[in-house]
Amino acid sequence: MLPLRLVIDTNVVISAAIRPAGLQRTVLTLALTKPARLYVSRAILEEYRDVLARPELRIRKRPRQQLL
């Protein structure tokens, strides 16, 4: 069976941070488990970091680090 190749949009990551019990967190969790493969470029990772750090989102440091 071929692995499912995924790129997760920044909006999904942000929603997963804001609503830990939401569907987006489930999607992110599934993307990190086999047989799926999460693909993240350096530019996407930087975008995740920048957006997660926005003060208006009020995402604490620990959840940010866990998602990254």
Query: pLDDT digits over 6-29, tens only?
Result: 999 999 999 999 998 999 999 999
Percentage above 70 pLDDT, the chain: 99
pLDDT of residue 20: 86
Does residue 48 register a pLDDT over 90?
yes
DSSP 7-64: ---HHHHHHHHH-TTSHHHHHHHHHTSTT-EE---HHHHHHHHHHHT-GGG---HHHH
- Across the chain, what does the average pLDDT equal? 91
| Residue 63 to residue 56: CA distance in whole angstroms | 15
| pTM of the predicted structure, to 2 decimals | 0.84
| Residue 67 to residue 29: CA distance in whole angstroms | 10
